[in-house]
Structure 1
Amino acid sequence: MIEGYVDRESVTAGGVLTLHVATRAPWFRVRFYRLGAELEFMAESGPFPGEFRPPPAHPDGDPGHASPARDWGWPGYRLPVPADWPPGIYLAQFTGHGEEAAPLRGLDAVEGHGREFFVVRARDPGGHGRILYKKSTFTRHAYNRSDAPGAERASSLYDNPVYVTGEDGGPRGHKLSLHRPGGVIDLAYWDAPFIAWLERNGYAVEYCTDLDLHEDPALLDPYRLLLSVGHDEYWSAAMRDHAEAYVRAGGNIAFLSANTCWWRIHPTDGNTAFVSDTDHQVGEEYPHLPATDQWWTPPPDGVGRPENTLTGVSFRNGGMWPGEWPGDRPRAGYTVQHADHWIYAGTGLRNGSHGGPPDALGAGTPLIGYECDGAAFAYDAAGTAYATGADGTPGSFLILGLYVLDPVHEDFHHLKWGHWNCPVREGAPTGPRAATMGVYTAGGTVFTAGTTDWPVICGHELDAGVTRVTRNLLDRLGGVRP
C-alpha cells in the first residue's frame, strides 16, 4: 500500500511541490495529471526511496482509528513544478515498486486511493483568465476520513473527531490536520466534470484554494469573478472579510454551491491545521454546546454574522437529502421566476406570464441537493416569491428560482427542511423553506445556485437550461466571450 498527501495544496508554476509519502515498497514513482477537458498526463517523477511510517494513534486509544488532529509526519519529497504548466487542478498518482498502478485513463478514473490533488496557480495572476475557481479545501479536510484500501480509519471532523479545549491559548473546538492522506471523492464528483465543461467551452480559468483566500487579502484583485463550487461549508473569518471586500469594490461571485459558509474555522499550527467549535459528537458526548463557530447564530452562542449577508442564502433555510449520498433525489427543478432577467436569456423558460404554469429549470434532473440553501421568503399578491430579509439576506436579492422543501419528517423520499441541528436551535419552522436560486448587487454582483449539485448537472450537460444559465453567468460576470 502507498499513500501520500501534499505539504500545501497550492503551488505557483515554477515553484516546488512537497509530497509526503509512506510505503513499504523500496521505491516509488509519482505520475502527474491535469484536470481539463480530459485527464491529461503531464509527467512522471522518481524513482524515490520508499519509507513506511504508521499513522499517529488516535487519542481515544482505539487501534482501528488514526488521529485526525495530528500532522502525520511522513517523509517529504520536494519536486519542482515546471514553469510552463498551465493553471489548474492536478492529480498526483503514487505508484510503488511491486504494486504498480495502471496509468489513469479519463476523468472517470479520478476517484480513488493512492493519489492526491493540488492546485497550480498562475505566475502572473489574471494573465491566463479573469475567472478564479476556488477549490473548497477546508471542507474537503472536514470530511476526509483518511481511509485506505483495507484500512477504514474513519477519522475526520465527523468520525471520531478530536476536541481541544483551548487551554493552551489557542481556539477551542474540533481539530483537524491538513497533513494526512485521503481519497479525492469530492474532486471527482463536483470539480472534475465542471472543470471539463469549462475547458470544453473555452473559458480561461485560474485556480486557488481556501487557504490562498484566507492568507492573501489581494488574491482576488486581478479577477472579475470568483467561483465557489460544490460543497463549500467551512470558511475562516479572513476568507469572509476578503470576499466581502471584493464584492464591495465591484468584484463578482458565483456560488455554484450550497451549505456554503456554515461553520467558521480557525487555522492553526502555521496554517497546517484548523479548529472549529461545531456541534459534532465526540464518542457519546457533545464537548461544548452551543457550538460557537456557527456563522449565523447570534453571540455569545455563535458568530453572529449570517452567511446570507454574503451569499444571499443559508443552509438553515434550505435542507438536505436524508438518504444515501448523493441519492436519487426528487427531480422537479427550480420553479422559474422573473424569466425576463438576463440570467435566463436564451433558455426559452417562462414564468407563467404566458397564462400557463411556470417552467422549471433542471426538471428531470437531480439538480436540487444533495444539500441546498435558501432565503427567508414570502409571496406577494401575484404569487411571486420575494426575500423578506429577516435572516440577513440583502434587500436587493432577487429570487429567480424556488423549490419548496418538505418540513422535517421521517419520509426518506423527500428533500427535507433543515440540517439535523437546525430544529434544535430554532424549533419548528416559522415559515416555508426552499432551495433558492437568486442574485443581488452591492458593488459587485453575487449569484447563488442554492444547491451543491449545480456543477454536476452543468458539467455532465444534463439540462440545457442549466448550461445556458451558467454561460450567461460566466459571460456577464466574468467579462468573457468564448
Structure 2
Amino acid sequence: MDQEHISGDGEGAGRRRFLALATGAAATAAGLGAVAGCAGGDTGAADGAGPGESPEPSGPPQKEEGPHGFDVRAENARPGNADWQVTKAGPARAIEGFADRVSVLPGEPFGLHVSTTAPRFTVSAYRMGWYGGARARLVWRSEALPGVRQPDHTVDASTRTVRTRWARSTTVETKDWPEGCYLLRLDAQGGEGQRFVPVTVRSAATAGRTVVVNAVATWQAYNRWGGYGSYDGPSGGYASRSLAVTFDRPYEYDDGAGLFLVYEAPLLALAERLGIPLAYTTTTDLAREKRLLEGASAVLSLGHDEYWSPEQRAHVTAARDAGTNVAILGANCCYRRIRLEASELGPDRTVVCYKSSYEQDPGFKRGHPATVDFRSAPAADPESSLLGVIYDGYPVDAPYVVTNPGHWLFEGTGAKAGDSFPHLVGVEYDKVNTGFTTPRPIEILAHSPVVCEGRPSHQDTAYYTTPSGAGVFATGTMRWVEALDAKGDGRSGANHGLDARSGTLTTRVTENLLRTFAAGPAGRTHPAQDNVKSVYGGPGA
C-alpha cells in the first residue's frame, strides 16, 4: 500500500464518517454491524448504564487529598448518577454548545457558549469515572438559563475553518470540582433536546501518578460541525477539507461528546475502578507544558490519539527517557503532525494540519515544521521511534491472535498460543516494522494476520523497554478500549460483534498493565525479551 493511501488522504470522507458512526453508536449504547471486508465503517458502543443514586448533586468528597494529591478511591466511593446519558437528542440544532477552555485547573472558571431554540436551558456537570458502574457523578447543576439561537457560523475562505463567534451564555465556576474528565449536559427546556460539552479539570502536577490524556486534537480533527472537518467539506471530497479546525464550535455527533465515549470512557472507568492514582490532562496541555509529566509513573494514550504536535511528542519522549512508562491503547497514534494556534477565544484553540498541502501553509513558510504525517518528508520522523509499532492500514476487521501467552501482561487471562478473538483487530491497526526506526528490545505479544484492501499483513501488540527503565506498550488495534465493554456472544452486532471473551481478555491485560505501570519504571522489573526475529524471521528482523 503506498504512502498516500495509508495516510487516508483521498479517502478522508469515508474515514471521517467511519468514526462519526462510531461515536453515534456509543451515545445510544447501540452498536452497528461489524466491518465487512475493507469498505466498512468503524462503530462502537460505550456502556454507560449501571447502578446509580439520586439525580441531585452529591456533596463534595470527604477525602480529596491523598499521597498523590487526589484520592481516586474516595471520589469513586461517592454515589453515582446513572441517568447522565443523552437520551433525547432532539432535532438538529435544538441545543448545542462549547466551552471556551479545553481544560481548567480545579477552581478556574470557563465560559459556555450555547445556542438553542428553547427559551431556557440547564447545564449539568458530570464527572466521568466508575462510581459503582454508574460511570458518572453529578457535581453541579445550573439554574434555568435564558436560551437564544446564536448567529450562523462563517467559513474562512483560505483555510475553510468554521467560525462561530457566539456570545458567552454563562460562566461556569469549578469550585470544589475534583480533577477529572467531565461531560456537561445541556438540557433544553421542555425536553426539546440534549447535548454534551466535554471539558477536562486537569491536574497541576502528575508526579507519582498515571496520566490520562484526553485526545482533544483528534476529537476536533474528526469534528465536522458546520460542514467541514480535517478530512472533507460539504462536497465530501478531500480537497474541500479544513486546513485548520477550531475548538470554538460544538462537536457534530449526536451527543456532542467528541470521541470521548467511544475511545476513552471505558478505560477511564476501569482505571478508576482499580483505584490507580490518576492525573488528568489533554493533548493541548501536554504540548504547552514542558514539565507537566515530570515524575509521572505512566502516561496513557487512549483509543484514538492520531493528531500530535511536535511539542507533545518531544515532552512524552522526554518523560519516557526519564523513566515514565507509556501505554498506547489504540492504533494510528502520533501519526499527524499538527501546530496549535490561537483562536479569538484564546491560545491553543486552533488545530492546524495541512497534510499533503503543507507547502501552502503560511506557518511552514515562516519556518514552522510541516503539518504533514510524522513519517513523511520534510523532516520525516516515523512514530515508531516512540511507539515501537507503526501504523499500517485501514480498514480491517480481523481476529486478534495471541502468540506470546507466557508474557506477564497475559497473566491470569488463561490465553494460549493461537487463541483467537474475533473482530478485536480493527478498524485501524499497527505493526512492528523494522524498516522504520524501532526501539529494541521489543516483544511481540500478539501477531494477527490481516488483509487490508487485498494486501496481506499483520497486526502486532508489542512491549519494549528502555535504558531509563520505562516500559512502552502498544495494543496495535483501535478497538482495544471499546472491547473493555464487550459483553455477550457478539451476535447482537454491538461493539463490532466483539464478545465477552474479548472483553475479559482486554480487561485483564489492561489491569495487569495499569498496576505494573503505576508501580514505577516497568523495565526494571519486567525487561523486554526481544522476539522479532522468531516472529517475523529474516535477517532484517
Q: TM-score interval w.r.t. the shorter chain?
A: 0.7 to 0.9
CA drift at 1:292: 5.7
CA drift at 1:95: 2.1
The counterpart of 1:320, out of the listed 375, 389, 395, is: 395
1:88-107 residue pairs with structure 2 within 5 A? 88-99=180-191, 101=193
Following the alignment from structure 2 to structure 1, what is the Cα–Cα distance between the partners of residues 275 and 348?
35
| Counterpart AA for 1:193 | P
The counterpart of 1:7, out of the listed 81, 100, 121, is: 100
Determine the structure 2 residue equivalent to 1:181: 250
The counterpart of 1:359, out of the listed 401, 405, 418, is: 418
Counting helix residues as a fraction of each chain, which structure ranks higher?
A: 2
Unmatched tracts of structure 2, length 5 or more: 1-93, 236-241, 359-369, 488-499, 521-541
Secondary structure of the corresponding residue to residue 323 of structure 2: coil
Contact 1:6–1:18 (CA under 8 A) maintained in structure 2: yes
Alignment deviations for residues 147-189 of structure 1 (CA, whole Å, 9 cap, x no partner)? xxxxxx4321112189xxxxxxxxxx81111111012252221
Q: CA separation of 1:55/1:402 partners in 2, compared to 1, >3 Å: closer, same or farther?
A: farther
Determine the structure 2 residue equivalent to 1:478: 518
Following the alignment from structure 2 to structure 1, what is the Cα–Cα distance between the partners of residues 243 and 234?
6
CA drift at 1:336: 1.6
Determine the structure 1 residue equivalent to 2:150: 53
Pair 1:436 & 2:465 matched: no
Count, aligned residues? 382
The counterpart of 1:456, out of the listed 482, 486, 499, is: 482
CA drift at 1:407: 4.6
Contact 2:271–2:514 (CA under 8 A) maintained in structure 1: no
Contact 1:318–1:405 (CA under 8 A) maintained in structure 2: no
The counterpart of 2:281, out of the listed 208, 233, 238, is: 208
The counterpart of 1:294, out of the listed 373, 381, 388, is: 373
Q: CA separation of 1:365/1:23 partners in 2, compared to 1, >3 Å: closer, same or farther?
A: same
Alignment deviations for residues 207-246 of structure 1 (CA, whole Å, 9 cap, x no partner)? 1111110100111114201011111110000001000000
Secondary structure of the corresponding residue to residue 285 of structure 2: helix
| TM-score normalised by L of structure 2 | 0.66
Contact 1:319–1:373 (CA under 8 A) maintained in structure 2: no
Pair 1:74 & 2:179 matched: no
User: Which range is displaced more, 21-30 or 176-185?
Assistant: 21-30
Alignment deviations for residues 49-108 of structure 1 (CA, whole Å, 9 cap, x no partner)? 3332223233579xxxxx96144121222211023x22221111112334455xxxxxxx
| Counterpart AA for 1:308 | S
| Counterpart AA for 1:180 | R
Determine the structure 1 residue equivalent to 2:5: none
| Counterpart AA for 2:461 | M
Secondary structure of the corresponding residue to residue 142 of structure 2: strand
Pair 1:276 & 2:353 matched: yes
Unmatched tracts of structure 1, length 5 or more: 62-66, 102-112, 147-152, 163-172, 282-290, 322-328, 351-357, 377-388, 410-416, 418-431
Following the alignment from structure 1 to structure 2, what is the Cα–Cα distance between the partners of residues 222 and 46?
41
Q: CA separation of 1:406/1:32 partners in 2, compared to 1, >3 Å: closer, same or farther?
A: same
Large movers: runs of 4+ above 6 Å: none
Following the alignment from structure 1 to structure 2, what is the Cα–Cα distance between the partners of residues 280 and 373?
25
Determine the structure 2 residue equivalent to 1:104: none
| Counterpart AA for 2:516 | R
CA drift at 1:458: 2.2
Following the alignment from structure 1 to structure 2, what is the Cα–Cα distance between the partners of residues 215 and 292?
17
Secondary structure of the corresponding residue to residue 510 of structure 2: helix
Following the alignment from structure 1 to structure 2, what is the Cα–Cα distance between the partners of residues 294 and 41?
40
Determine the structure 2 residue equivalent to 1:136: 215
| Counterpart AA for 2:513 | L
Determine the structure 1 residue equivalent to 2:473: 447
The counterpart of 2:439, out of the listed 390, 394, 397, is: 394
Determine the structure 1 residue equivalent to 2:383: 307
| TM-score normalised by L of structure 1 | 0.73
Secondary structure of the corresponding residue to residue 134 of structure 1: strand
Following the alignment from structure 2 to structure 1, what is the Cα–Cα distance between the partners of residues 149 and 371?
39
Contact 1:193–1:460 (CA under 8 A) maintained in structure 2: no
Contact 1:19–1:78 (CA under 8 A) maintained in structure 2: yes
Secondary structure of the corresponding residue to residue 337 of structure 2: strand
Determine the structure 2 residue equivalent to 1:375: 432
Instruction: Give the CA RMSD over aligned residues.
Output: 2.7
Following the alignment from structure 2 to structure 1, what is the Cα–Cα distance between the partners of residues 386 and 234?
29
Contact 2:227–2:234 (CA under 8 A) maintained in structure 1: no
Secondary structure of the corresponding residue to residue 152 of structure 2: coil
Pair 1:34 & 2:127 matched: yes
Following the alignment from structure 1 to structure 2, what is the Cα–Cα distance between the partners of residues 263 and 44?
38
CA drift at 1:349: 2.6
Contact 1:177–1:274 (CA under 8 A) maintained in structure 2: yes
CA drift at 1:453: 1.2
Pair 1:122 & 2:203 matched: yes
Following the alignment from structure 2 to structure 1, what is the Cα–Cα distance between the partners of residues 213 and 117?
35
Determine the structure 1 residue equivalent to 2:64: none
Secondary structure of the corresponding residue to residue 329 of structure 2: strand
